[in-house]
Amino acid sequence: MEHTIIPRLRLAGVLAVCALALAGCGGGRGGRSNARYYEAAVVAQRDLSPQHFQALKVELPKRLGKQPIVVEDAAGRQSPTTAEKLSAAAQQALYIVLETGSKASQEWDLRVRLADNRRVPVTVRRAPGGGFVVRQGDVGEKLARGQGKDLPQRYGIGNLVEQGAEWTPRAREVLDIALDALDDRERKVLAAIPFIRRVRGDDASHGALYKQTDCKAEIFLFDTALRSDSDQFVGEPEAPVATSVRTLLHEVGHAIHQRPGRLAWCAVERKERALRERVEALNKRGQAFNRGQGRLSAKDRERELGAIKAEQKALETEKSAFEQQVKEARKAVDRGPVLEAYGKVLGKASPPTAYAETSAKESFAESYSLFRADPAALKRLLPQVHDFFARGGHLGP
């Protein structure tokens, strides 16, 4: 889900804060005072001229004040630097963070737009002792590519369905990368679930959606998710992954925590069909008995009547058990064992993103999407949650 904040501000005639919007699965930006979030927002950068970057060299040091800056290489080695020595992309990334970031936000993965429209992946993190850590990929670094072919056959998912929007090669690649990040047990959760392309959902801000109706499950991918890829990435800046991959993994997370409830409801539907068939069979048997009892001997009539009454009694008992089964299935759908286990591990810590504050389900899905798309980021924020997923706690015994 997506909302838009537009704090457009001009400094020195050329610096501009760009439109900011939550991508894919986001919502409100509320939270608690001690929250620590991975920033899931997308900053859409527009019309950045060479003059903007010239002004940035003067303005950024003023904005930073005495806050220290550390640059980090691909091996994790860090060295102190100053704002003046940073690349234009790193300066712009820090400027975006200072202008749009909340105090709770700890990490940003930005595809910074240069004056020549090339994109540069830059990660900015808050340093534990204050200030920022900056890690930059190559100028013009391309997003990871997938094969995008034979996805249902290779991964055991349902069909790729088009409902007004095409499964373009790029959309297929994004889905391929997301599915490839899963292990075999997680892929089994998606068995036969169709993936559906639509231009938009009922809410235009949705990037993707997991929809479960009783025993039926579907996953939708909307255009909003794919549009976010130009301004944000996930993972390491040396090998950036499209943020729409994390959006899809968020929905896979919903499929995982809902699986116990979905299986329980599937069992309810099977039991309901079986009970209905028994009731229909009993009604037919009773009607046949009423029509033909005059042709039966007293002994046979008594035996058949006893059998009918016994089946009626058995069905009454089954009905009570079925009603309890329905109650348990509803509980599993509302908050099943996966969410219970996750909640115990999360404890009183803040969930990984601002949107994750909205519910336990969204908290799980946001954590899971980070675990599969950017495990290092999740480990920095919530090491106990990272370890929960790493040991398969989300998949049960």
Note the pLDDT of residue 335: 86
As a whole number, the mean pLDDT across the chain is: 89
In this prediction, residues 309-331 reach a mean pLDDT of 92
Q: What is the pLDDT of residues 258-300, one digit of tens each?
A: 999 999 999 999 999 999 999 999 999 999 998 888 888 889 9
Q: Which of 14-18, 106-110, 195-199, 291-295 has the lowest mean pLDDT?
A: 14-18
| Residue 96 confidence (pLDDT) above 90 | yes
Helix H, strand E, coil C: the string for the chain is CCCEECCCCEECCCEECCEEEECCCCCCCCCCCCCCEECCEEEECCCCCHHHHHHHHHHHHHHHCCCCEEEECCCCCEEEECHHHCCHHHHHHHHHHHHHCCCCEEEEEEEEECCCCCEEEEEEEECCCCCEEEEECCCCCCCCCCCCCCHHHHHCCCCEEECCCCCCHHHHHHHHHHHHCCCHHHHHHCCCCCEEECCCCCCCCCCEEEEEECCEEEEEECHHHHHHHHCEEECCCCCCEEHHHHHHHHHHHHHHHHHHHHHHHHHHHHHHHHHHHHHHHHHHHHHHHHHHHHHCCHHHHHHHHHHHHHHHHHHHHHHHHHHHHHHHHHHHHHHCHHHHHHHHHHCCCCCCCCHHHHCHHHHHHHHHHHHHHCHHHHHHHCHHHHHHHHCCHHHCC
Q: Domains in the chain, please, with CATH?
A: 4-136 (no CATH), 151-259+338-395 (3.40.390.10)
In sign, the C-alpha dihedral spanning 327, 333, 336, 339 is negative
Where does the pLDDT of residue 41 fall: very low under 50, low under 70, confident under 90, or very high at 90 and above? Answer: confident
341: tokens are 């286990």
> Quick check: pTM over 0.85?
yes
Where does the pLDDT of residue 162 fall: very low under 50, low under 70, confident under 90, or very high at 90 and above? Answer: very high
In sign, the C-alpha dihedral spanning 301, 306, 312, 315 is negative
Q: What is the pLDDT of residues 234-266, one digit of tens each?
A: 999 999 999 999 999 999 999 999 999 999 999
